Structure 1
Amino acid sequence: MSRSSSAARQPCRRRWAMPARRSSRRPRRVDPFLSSRSGAEPMHANDIKRLRSPRRAVLLATVLLALAPAGAGPACAALIGSAATPARTSASTTLRVCADPADLPFSSNQPNRPGIYVALARHLASQLGRPLSIVWAPTDQDEEMLHKTLLAGTCDMFIGVPAAAEFLDGKVILSHPILTAGYALVRPAGSGIDDDAALAHHAVAVQFASPPQDMLSRRQDVDAVTVMSPEEGMADLKGGQVQAALLWGPSAGYLNQAAGSGYSITPLQGRHMQWQVAIAFAPAARTLRARVDRALSDDPGFMQQQARQYGFPGSGSGIQQAAVMNEVQTLKVPAITKDTAPSQDLPKSETAQDQPGPAAAGDKGTREAAFTPAGGDPVAGHSMFNGNCAHCHGPDAVTGDGRVNLRLLQVRYGAGMDQMFYHTVTHGRIDKGMPNWSGVISDQQFKSILAWLHSVQAKA
Structure 2
Amino acid sequence: MKMPVWDRYLVAAAFMLGLTTAAPMAQTSDLVSKTALRVCADPANFPMSSKDGSGYENKLAELVAAKLELPVQYTWYPMATGFIRNTLKAKKCDVVMAYAQGHELVLNTNHYLTSVYTLIVPTDGDLAAVRALDDPALEGRRIGIIAGTPPAAHMARNGLIGQAQSYNLFVDRRHESPGTDMLNDLAKGQIDAAILWGPMGGPLVKTDYPQFTVIPLIHEKLPPKLFYRITMGVRQGEKVWQRKLNSIIRRNQSEINSLLAEAGVPQVSDLGTEMKEVSN
- AA partner of residue 49 (structure 1): F
Q: State the Cα RMSD in Å.
A: 3.3
- AA partner of residue 215 (structure 2): T
2:63 is aligned with 1:123: yes
Aligned residue number for residue 286 of structure 1: 239
**Change over 3 Å in CA distance of 1:156–1:23 after alignment to 2:** closer
Aligned residue number for residue 182 of structure 2: 233
Query: Residues of 1 paired with 2:43 and 2:248: CA distance?
Result: 25
1:203 to 142, 159, 166: 142
Aligned residue number for residue 173 of structure 2: none
Aligned residue number for residue 134 of structure 1: 74
Structure of greater relative contact order (alpha carbons < 8 Å, 6+ residues apart):
2
Aligned residue number for residue 276 of structure 1: 229
1:217 is paired with a residue whose SS is helix
* 1:239-318 alignment, distance < 5 Å: 239-269=188-218, 270=220, 271-312=224-265, 314=266
Query: Residues of 2 paired with 1:210 and 1:241: CA distance?
Result: 21
**Change over 3 Å in CA distance of 1:190–1:257 after alignment to 2:** same
Query: Residues of 2 paired with 1:207 and 1:216: CA distance?
Result: 12
Q: Does structure 2 conserve the Cα–Cα contact (< 8 Å) formed by 1:99 and 1:135? A: yes
Note the alpha carbon deviations across 1:194-228, whole angstroms, 9 max, x for none. 23313234332223222222222233478633131
1:303 is paired with a residue whose SS is helix
Q: Does structure 1 conserve the Cα–Cα contact (< 8 Å) formed by 2:109 and 2:232? A: yes
**Change over 3 Å in CA distance of 1:320–1:133 after alignment to 2:** same
Unpaired stretches in structure 1, ≥5 consecutive residues: 1-15, 31-46, 55-77, 329-460
**What TM-score, normalized by structure 2, do the two folds share?**
0.76
2:164 is paired with a residue whose SS is strand
Aligned residue number for residue 145 of structure 1: 83
1:127 is paired with a residue whose SS is helix
Query: Residues of 2 paired with 1:186 and 1:172: CA distance?
Result: 32
Task: For residue 263 of structure 1, report the CA deviation from its aligned partner.
Answer: 1.2
Identity rate, percent: 22
2:94 is aligned with 1:162: no
Q: Does structure 1 conserve the Cα–Cα contact (< 8 Å) formed by 2:145 and 2:152? A: yes
Task: For residue 261 of structure 1, report the CA deviation from its aligned partner.
Answer: 1.9
Query: Residues of 2 paired with 1:150 and 1:221: CA distance?
Result: 39
**Change over 3 Å in CA distance of 1:214–1:52 after alignment to 2:** same
Aligned residue number for residue 402 of structure 1: none
2:129 to 171, 193, 196: 193
Aligned residue number for residue 327 of structure 1: 275
Aligned residue number for residue 15 of structure 2: 49
- AA partner of residue 64 (structure 2): L
Aligned residue number for residue 174 of structure 2: none
Aligned residue number for residue 171 of structure 2: none
**Change over 3 Å in CA distance of 1:148–1:249 after alignment to 2:** same
The higher radius of gyration belongs to 1
Aligned length: 255
Stretches of 4+ moved more than 4 A in 1? 16-19, 51-54, 88-92, 320-323
